[in-house]
Chains A and B, each alone.
Chain A
Amino acid sequence: MGRMKSRLSPPVFKGRLHDARTATSIGRWLGSAFAVCFLTGLVSHFMQHPPDWLANHIPSRPSWGYRLTQGLHVASGIAAIPLLLAKLWAVYPRLFSWPPLRSVKHALERLSIAVLVAGSVFELATGLLNTAQWYPWPFSFVPVHYAVAWLVVGALVLHLAVKAPEIRAHWSRRSPGTLALPVQDGPDRRSLLAAVGAAAGAVTLTTVGQSFTPLKDLILFAPRHPDQGPQALPVNRTAAAAGVGRIADEEYRLVVDGPQRYTLTLDELRALPQHEVELPIACVEGWSKSAHWTGVRVVDLLERAGAPPHARVRVTSLQLRGGYRVSEMGQEHARDPLTLLALRLNGAELAPDHGYPARLIAPNRPGVLQTKWVGRLEVLA
């Protein structure tokens, strides 16, 4: 019987710093990282799947907007990895609190913590694996990552509400709860917090160069290097993967379908007024790189087709395989003078992998919507 009891009794934690002050200190950083990650994730979601009321009003400026928000999304998620592990380390002994369930309220609180922990680990793990294009799970990444994000944020808000008195009691070094903790833990705790901060800094510095290119020389663990790829620009879907290969010049036609439908050959497209813009390709997976693009303004093509000023535009690729064959643009993007049907990249013809002979490049727009191998622009009513 005695053995039974000892087998069932929870483990004892003699180590220091598994206290509310440590949890509050790390929790503040982690909560901030989650807030940034969730808000930037929402931006990305609504840019790619806008509800009807928003579809025609997504702003096209600032031109670097999506580069910033998606870079922050991936960077805050990566920085949250050591913060989450440290936070869970600090509160780990509570997993074995005894008795495990004291009341219905206590059971519900523990359930919400289980959801929070499961969802947090899940979101950071699937997000990081997605940046490496590694999908070992049986479900579709994007809708599940999006749904679990809401689950985590809800559980986090509930957690903050439940723990508010404890958080307040340990908010600063002079808060009553902090002062009630052993004084000799203070320097040790500051040393631990410095280590956790250093870990968050280290994982950020070794990956953030994939979108924040001034730090590209510090990249150690990012899946992409912004200088590597055809024409020194990374690629997600190649011409081969899209089933287009190199499109023959004489066979290429651009159809602009509007009130006055017309078709252009590649030579006719090249003969139209050309404009140069500097715009980034900013991928949902976190990498981004700025480049010089030359081509025809989409607004010029639309006006020649007699498109009304508030019309939305559907852009269709000649690609045969893979998703994102069709993208749509609201009036802000369609009318922006920076939005081009680009024919050249950094002074040279587009490589097939970058969409030869013509691709869309628009400001403040996710990379997957910068349609390549464009064959058709369609004015929507």
Chain B
Amino acid sequence: MKLTRVLAGVSGVVVMGVGVSLLLDVREVPGVLLWLGGAVVLHDGLIAPLVLLVGLVLVRGGVRGGMCGGAHGGVRGPVRGALTVAGALTMVALPVLLRPGPRANSSVLRLDYWSNWLLAMVVVAAVTALVMAGRWFWRGRRGAS
């Protein structure tokens, strides 16, 4: 098992070497390194702290499982789920929403992406409300019987 791990680790380093040698053939290596470093700084310095901050504000604001009858009946799960889905959709939509400059032709980016984004947010909110209402309903029935 130890040998397998070592062999896997070595092959990983070899494959990384392939990547490095391919990168050295590319012009503008400093630009690539800047973008690679920028990717880490953007995530670790901005995106992750923002997400953690949102989570902290929600928990401080009272959105927690314990307050409303445990993890199954609480609002924490659905609210966190709604924010996760909405955040992912927004992230994936950013290029089509924000791309500047002229389009290559009329078949590129011709949907109304801001309307679509609003629609997606409304659907996420509606599905979340339905899930919460459903849970509240079933818990009520279980409690009554």
**Residues in chain A within 8 A of chain B (CB atoms):** 13, 15, 78, 81-82, 85-86, 88-89, 92, 95, 112, 114-115, 117-119, 121-122, 125-126, 128-129, 131-134, 137-140, 143-144, 146-162, 164, 187-188, 191-192, 194-196, 198-200, 202-203, 206-207, 219-225, 228-230, 234-238, 241, 353
Contact = CB atoms under 8 A, between A and B. Distances in A.
22 contacts: A78-B92, A92-B52, A119-B19, A121-B43, A151-B19, A152-B19, A154-B19, A155-B16, A157-B8, A157-B12, A158-B16, A161-B8, A161-B9, A162-B9, A188-B77, A202-B85, A207-B92, A221-B117, A236-B104, A236-B105, A241-B105, A353-B105
Classify chain B's interface size: 35 or more
B108 to A, nearest CB: 6
B87 interface: yes
Contacts of B140: none
Nearest to B70: A187
B31 A198 contact: no
Interface in B18-62: 18-20, 22-23, 25-28, 31-32, 35-37, 39-40, 42-44, 47-48, 51-52, 55-56, 59
A219 B15 CA distance: 36
B120 to A, nearest CB: 6
A235 B19 CA distance: 32
Nearest to B101: A134
Given A121-B42, A238-B105, 7 more contacts: A85-B88, A122-B36, A133-B109, A139-B27, A154-B16, A200-B88, A222-B96
A133 B108 contact: yes
Contact of B96 (A86, A139, A221, A229): A221
Contacts of A133: 99, 103-104, 108-109
A206 B56 CA distance: 29
B72 A187 contact: yes
B110 A225 contact: yes
Contacts of A195: 77, 80-81, 84-85
B137 interface: no
- What are the 10 closest A-B residue pairs judged by CB atoms, nearest first? A151-B19, A158-B12, A154-B16, A154-B15, A150-B19, A157-B12, A229-B107, A147-B22, A195-B81, A199-B88
Contact of A85 (B26, B80, B91, B120): B91
A150 B18 contact: yes
A158 B9 contact: yes
A235 B36 CA distance: 32
B134 interface: no
Contact of B95 (A82, A128, A187, A241): A128
B82 to A, nearest CB: 8
B119 interface: yes
A152 B109 CA distance: 30
B119 to A, nearest CB: 7
B68 interface: no
Nearest to B39: A121
A150 B91 CA distance: 25
